[in-house]
Amino acid sequence: MNSQEAFRKAFLKDKGVMKMHLEGLTLYYKNTCPYCQKVLGFMARNELSLDMCDITMPGHLDNLLRIGGKNQVPCLIIDGEALYESADIITYLDTFV
């Protein structure tokens, strides 16, 4: 990011009009899961957004099992690869902050 982009991002974030959308990432989650809430809280505090799949909705749990082999949430899909474990997901997302 050059300095002009950094300034624009900081300005828009300050105005509360921008969330950074991370392309190529999908978070599988469910609202009742405390580990998912930890990840969602980190995303909210840092104004990160990404594609989300609630595993209580039809089809999403099957997709998670197919991609990652486990039905555990949270799970972050990074270019088709599954990353389980909330702490590891947060460490990964932190690289975008």
Question: Under the rule (CB under 6 A), what is the footprint of ligand GSH?
Answer: 33-35, 71-74, 85-87
Residue nearest to ligand GSH (CB): 33
Considering beta carbons, is residue 18 or 92 the nearer one to ligand GSH? Answer: 92
Considering beta carbons, is residue 1 or 57 the nearer one to ligand GSH? Answer: 57
Considering beta carbons, is residue 16 or 34 the nearer one to ligand GSH? Answer: 34
Q: Classify 27 as helix, strand or coil.
A: strand
φ, ψ dihedrals at 23, nearest 5° = -75, 150
Asked if 38 and 65 touch (Cβ cutoff 8 Å), the reply is: no
CB of 20 to ligand GSH, least distance (A): 23
Asked if 39 and 30 touch (Cβ cutoff 8 Å), the reply is: no
Q: Helices marked H in the chain — which ranges? A: 3-14, 34-45, 60-68, 86-94
